[in-house]
Amino acid sequence: MTAPTGPAGAPRGLSTQVTAGVGSSPRRPDGTPKVKGEFAYSSDMWMEDMIWGVTLRSPHPYARIRSIDIGAALAMPGVYAVLTHEDVPCSKFYGLEIVDQPVLAVDTVRYHGEPVALVAADHPEIARQATKSIRVDYDVYEPITDARLALGHPGWNQVHNAPGAVSELSRERAALHPQGNLVRHLKLRKGHSDPVADVVVGGEYEVGMQDQAFLGPESGLAVPTGDGGVELYVATQWLHVDQRQICAALGLSPEKVRLTLAGVGGAFGGREDLSMHVHACMLALHTGKPVKMVYNREESFFGHVHRHPAVMRFEHGADRAGTLIYVKAEIYLDGGAYASSTPAVVGNAGTMGIGPYIVPNVQVDAYGAYTNNPPCGAMRGFGSVQAAFAYEAQMDKLAAELGMDPVELRCRNALTEGSQAPTGQVIDSPAPVEELLRRLQAIQLPPQRNADADLRDLPGGVANTTHGEGVMRGVGYAVAYKNVGFSEGFDDYSTARVRLEAVAGEATVTVHTAAAEVGQGLVTVEQQIARTELGVHAVVVHPKDTQVGSGGSTSASRQTYVTGGAVKAACEKVRERALKAIRQRTGHATADLRLDSGKVISEREGVIGTLADLLGDEVIDETVEWHHRPTVAVDPETGQGFAHVQYAFSAHRAVVDVDTELGLVKVVALDCVQDVGKAVNPQAVVGQIQGGSAQGLGLAVMEEILISGGKIKNPSFTDYLIPTILDMPPMRIEVLEYADPHAPYGLRGVGEPPTISSGPAIVAAIRDATGLPLQRVPVRPEHITGT
């Protein structure tokens, strides 16, 4: 396995020696170059003779295209190509789960920013100017921007299984897609349909549209191979699904479409769908030249999916002792113009929708709808994030109604190992929900603010807006769980190729997977596993590409579990063959041998030689496709079934100071306890918890893509606010390691749970400080001041 050559900035493989295995925190091989600014991100790639691609996007959220005139653009000096849907060679549509999204708008645009045409030119500015010369004649329609209206739900209490059939909006135009505006309806039915409870609380909740806000905008470089094929270097999350969709659009076989992962500047779900992939390939094949495409920040907001906004109605019933009797919920998720991951998001919102609690009677209806808002899809913790804001608010409301401590109420109803999820699935690994909460309670609260508090520690900071007057403190708790890996019968697997050989007198392992490193540290984990399993120091991580089988998506907190499992399994095969070869050479029984620190060790005789010497010229190369336990599709009428392979649990406690006069919030503390099964890389685990918590904080009080009439109002980091180090409090984190017996090393996915429980804890703390119901996130200052 040799790293391919390619454009400047293409990955060359990471070969930093890792000196520690599973359970330690070695230096990341990509860490130093990233910190020093030497790491090549996808937007840094360069080739001689390269030209630039630019996208013309729709200015309207909903319109019919009467005509497109490309003549003036094509005539501009420096322009190599102007392409429209008519130039898409094969399938004009693509999609992760439902093939419904046009590569380039065919006759209708369904969201503001939808790609309509492409230009390739010898300079990006010339290409941009050329796009302005393309004349598109639109017949503009009124956009449909409310998910419930799109489904034909003028009121809360109607439920329709057949979208549009009884809808006042089911006119021809209102059906955004031929199949109607319903993407998915998940029904969950458990226990009695009409249970009776002593105490009942209800509420309506709303979650805004969050952006992944990754720092590296969409970019890539497509290079024609000369045989009718194309190589694409791109920042993405799932190489093989990209490849599948590109092949379908271009009408090429996978052998003709090779993908290599370029440097990725964050993803968080936003790169799971295609962006410029097919476009760059089309332009490259059309012109015969390498074509680079790089979105700017504004275009990036139009170029990827976002977190689904949600409106939810929940009702909880309990007995007077606080034992939950039932939960009823309706969850409406706005999928925007195209399906993307909406079916899976609906699945998660429904099956995880009541939180990690034991509830005998459950009735949940989760809907995903098409609208003319920007498409929504995968984002860290999807489905669960939205539902958690509602169910945790409900638990606090119920506790107040019962006169109970909110943590006691949660502990009383907490899931445990052996209990049933609302899908009927028995939790068959540790579920330490109560322990998470108890440990959080035991962490000392931050000291009360004193009269001469530093301005920097008060809401408003150094702006001198308060010296403590009008500032109220609040404390809130939240707990969450999240499915790990792909669910509901999806055949979720990863492929790993592992090669062991002696290089320059040292046993060296090369690990080759297609699992995308997006910044989370997978390359380090792959090295750690190889070292642990094969007892070597030198581990080379091959560039990620489609020359090896699929690694699956870098999402759903799954890569350490699934690709880690694949690497482990491949290493075990390599080790078995290596020991067999050594046995043949030395006569030692394989059961007597182990590999450690580059040496072969006999249990009886000690070191019998170096692995490199004993391997000699032999090269051991194994490829393994590793699948996790199968799950099943849930029953369409009841939502019952073994839907998820693993659950991961986290809990947060937030302490906030709120300036009730001005509506400003200062998060004073945000502590977290999370069970990770096995901390494969403890430092990375803490980093994931910190990062996930920050993203949860962002949704709680800062982050929202503001849409008006289907148009994004704030496509910039000046106007779309994300938390910085100034907004994040220091975190106290406790990591529990209760092994999941079904998972490699007992590990659990880590990345998503902290994004789910952090936000609801912060909002609970603001409610505690203000006494306000706060049913919408992000909480904005005017929600607190009432203005």
Partner 1 sequence: MDLPGITEVADARLGIWRPGDAWLAGGTWLFSEPQPALTRLLDLHAFGWTALQVSPDGLDIAATCTLAELARQEFPPWQAASLVGQCCAALLGSFKVWNTATVGGNICLALPAGPMISLTAALDGVAEIWGTGGAVRRIPVADFVTGPGRCRLRPGELLRSVHLPIGALQCATAFRQLSLSALGRSAAVVIGRRSPSDGALVITLTAATTRPVQLRFPAPPGPDGLLATLAAAAPRYHDDVHGAPAWREAITRQLALEVLDELERL
Binding site for partner 1 (CB under 8 A): 123, 125-126, 128-129, 460-465, 661-664, 702, 706, 713-714, 718-721, 723-724, 726-727, 780-782, 785, 787
* Inter-helix orientation angle 384-402/753-770, to 10°: 40
642: CB partners within 8 A, 6+ apart: 423, 425, 631, 632
Of residues 97 and 727, the one with the C-beta less far from partner 1: 727
Question: For residues 142, 147, 149 and 155, what is the CA-based torsion angle, rounded to 10 degrees?
Answer: -160
Cβ 43 to partner 1 shortest distance, Å: 14
Of residues 400 and 706, the one with the C-beta less far from partner 1: 706
Write out the DSSP string of 216-263: S-SEEEEEE-SSS-EEEEE--SBHHHHHHHHHHHHT--GGGEEEEEPP
Encoded amino acid at 16, one letter: T
Cβ 39 to partner 1 shortest distance, Å: 21
Q: Which residues of 474-506 are buried (b: 16+ CB within 10 A; e: fewer)?
A: bbbbbbbbbbbbbbbebebbbbbbbbbbbeeee
770: CB partners within 8 A, 6+ apart: 472, 474, 658, 660, 784
Of residues 67 and 724, the one with the C-beta less far from partner 1: 724
Cβ 751 to partner 1 shortest distance, Å: 24
Cβ 705 to partner 1 shortest distance, Å: 10
673: CB partners within 8 A, 6+ apart: 435, 436, 437, 439, 440, 650, 651, 733, 734, 735, 736
Cβ 728 to partner 1 shortest distance, Å: 10
Encoded amino acid at 397, one letter: K
Of residues 196 and 463, the one with the C-beta less far from partner 1: 463
Of residues 66 and 123, the one with the C-beta less far from partner 1: 123
192: CB partners within 8 A, 6+ apart: 326, 360, 361
Of residues 149 and 472, the one with the C-beta less far from partner 1: 472
Cβ 59 to partner 1 shortest distance, Å: 17
* Inter-helix orientation angle 682-701/753-770, to 10°: 40
Cβ 311 to partner 1 shortest distance, Å: 20
Of residues 73 and 223, the one with the C-beta less far from partner 1: 73
Of residues 451 and 462, the one with the C-beta less far from partner 1: 462
Provide the 10 A C-beta neighbour count for residue 99. Answer: 14
Cβ 460 to partner 1 shortest distance, Å: 6
Write out the DSSP string of 722-753: ---TTTPPP--EEEE----TTSGGG----SSH
User: Residue 786 carries which DSSP code?
Assistant: T
Q: Do 76 and 134 touch, CB atoms closer than 8 A?
A: no
Cβ 212 to partner 1 shortest distance, Å: 18
Please state, in angstroms and rounded to a whole number, the distance separating the CA atoms of residues 221 and 50: 9
Give which of 391, 386, 390 is closest to 324, Cα–Cα: 391
Of residues 128 and 244, the one with the C-beta less far from partner 1: 128
Of residues 432 and 723, the one with the C-beta less far from partner 1: 723
Cβ 469 to partner 1 shortest distance, Å: 9
